[in-house]
């Protein structure tokens, strides 16, 4: 004989599923317990945190070709600002926002560079942070993902391949575009071509002369500039000489743009691994990491207002 049991009907769970949660990136509908958006694979934690904030997060893109140094730059920027006690301070929102910083600094401490960012969007590191400035009354909320360079290139060449990229870039307030200084120094033109294609893609997404990408601030950042004194001394002059196509496109298409030079490793060396020779950092000497970010904040007037 089977013994009967009383099982409480938790109807409140059904009520939760009846109300969808919109993804903060693509605005697609998802269930309340979804970890990633079923439409674009962005983390749903962004939507839950945005709904609980009085200040709506703005989005800043960090773009560049594969191996240009996006992960290192963004991880180092976070680490420097979260330890800053001066005019500009950063506070990570959510445990997932600290992963990029932790991964980057652990790799550099082992005299290694972080592993390549996977192409799958659900494997990307997203940073949601609060920015406090001494002269601003309200703090700012920013979202900055570490998107794979190969995925960005695929989206540029074949639009709508990665829904999350196009949806994110349409909502961005500003962008930091990274260019590999050493590839340009060695005479390669791939960096110049890639960045030109990327900037063209941005203007095609939104070419409104008042509110589109032509009016949004774009910081052009030469990475690995610690290995090139010419670039470090005069980033704009270096762009005019070694990336003339990029320099000309910026002059004609983007009202607010500026060139910067940055570096994280003071010196690099080659080390033999099972897969061949790999470049490794010998020491960590950040240079010009915060300046591009500070410039963007002044241009987009972060923290100037409070949303309802």
pLDDT digits (tens, 9 = 90+) for 64-98: 999 999 999 999 999 999 987 677 889 998 888 99
Q: Sketch the domain layout of the chain as residue ranges.
A: 53-300
- Burial code of 126-153, b = ≥16 C-beta within 10 A, e = fewer? bbbbbbbbeebeebbbbbbbbbbbebbb
Banded model confidence at residue 7, pLDDT cuts 50, 70, 90: low
Q: Are 203 and 216 in contact (CB under 8 A)?
A: no
Between 303 and 126, name the one with better pLDDT: 126
* 268 Cβ contact partners less than 8 Å away, ≥ 6 residues apart: 227, 279, 280, 281, 282
What is the reported pTM? 0.88
**Helices H / strands E in the chain, number of each:** 12, 11
Banded model confidence at residue 222, pLDDT cuts 50, 70, 90: very high
pLDDT digits (tens, 9 = 90+) for 119-137: 999 999 999 999 988 777 7
- Burial code of 224-259, b = ≥16 C-beta within 10 A, e = fewer? bbbbbeebbeebeebbeebbeebbebbeebbebbbb
**CATH of the structural domain 53-300, one choice from 3.40.50.720, 3.30.2010.10, 3.40.50.300, 3.60.20.30:** 3.40.50.300
| Dihedral over Cα of 90, 236, 282, 112: its sign | positive
Positions of E strands within 87-237: 88-92, 125-133, 140-146, 174-180, 218-223
């Amino acid at each position: 004989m089977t013994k009967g049991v009383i099982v409480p009907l938790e109807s409140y769970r059904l009520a939760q599923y009846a109300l969808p949660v919109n993804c903060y990136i693509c605005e697609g509908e998802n269930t309340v317990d979804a970890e990633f958006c079923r439409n674009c694979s962005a983390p749903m934690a962004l939507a839950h945190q945005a709904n609980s904030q009085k200040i709506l997060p703005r989005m800043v893109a960090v773009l560049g070709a594969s191996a240009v140094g996006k992960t290192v730059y963004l991880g180092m920027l976070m680490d420097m600002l979260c330890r800053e006690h001066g005019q500009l301070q950063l506070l990570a929102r959510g445990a997932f926002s600290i992963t990029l910083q932790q991964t980057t600094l652990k790799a550099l401490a082992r005299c290694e560079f972080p592993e390549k960012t996977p192409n799958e969007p659900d494997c990307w590191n997203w940073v949601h942070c609060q920015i406090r400035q001494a002269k601003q009354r309200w703090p700012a909320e920013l979202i900055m993902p570490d998107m794979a360079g190969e995925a960005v290139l695929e989206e540029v060449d074949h639009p709508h391949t990665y829904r999350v990229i196009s949806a994110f870039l349409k909502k961005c307030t500003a962008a930091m575009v990274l260019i590999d200084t050493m590839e340009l120094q060695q005479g390669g033109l791939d960096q110049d071509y890639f960045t030109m294609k990327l900037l063209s893609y941005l203007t095609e997404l939104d070419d409104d002369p008042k509110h589109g990408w032509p009016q949004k601030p774009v910081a052009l950042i030469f990475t690995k500039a610690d290995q090139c004194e010419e670039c470090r001394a005069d980033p704009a002059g270096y762009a005019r000489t070694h990336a003339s196509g990029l320099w000309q496109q910026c002059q004609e298409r983007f009202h607010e743009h500026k060139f910067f030079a940055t570096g994280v490793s003071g010196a690099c060396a080659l080390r033999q691994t099972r897969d061949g020779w790999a470049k490794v950092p010998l020491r960590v000497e950040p240079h010009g990491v915060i300046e591009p970010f500070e410039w963007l904040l002044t241009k987009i007037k972060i923290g100037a207002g409070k949303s309802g």
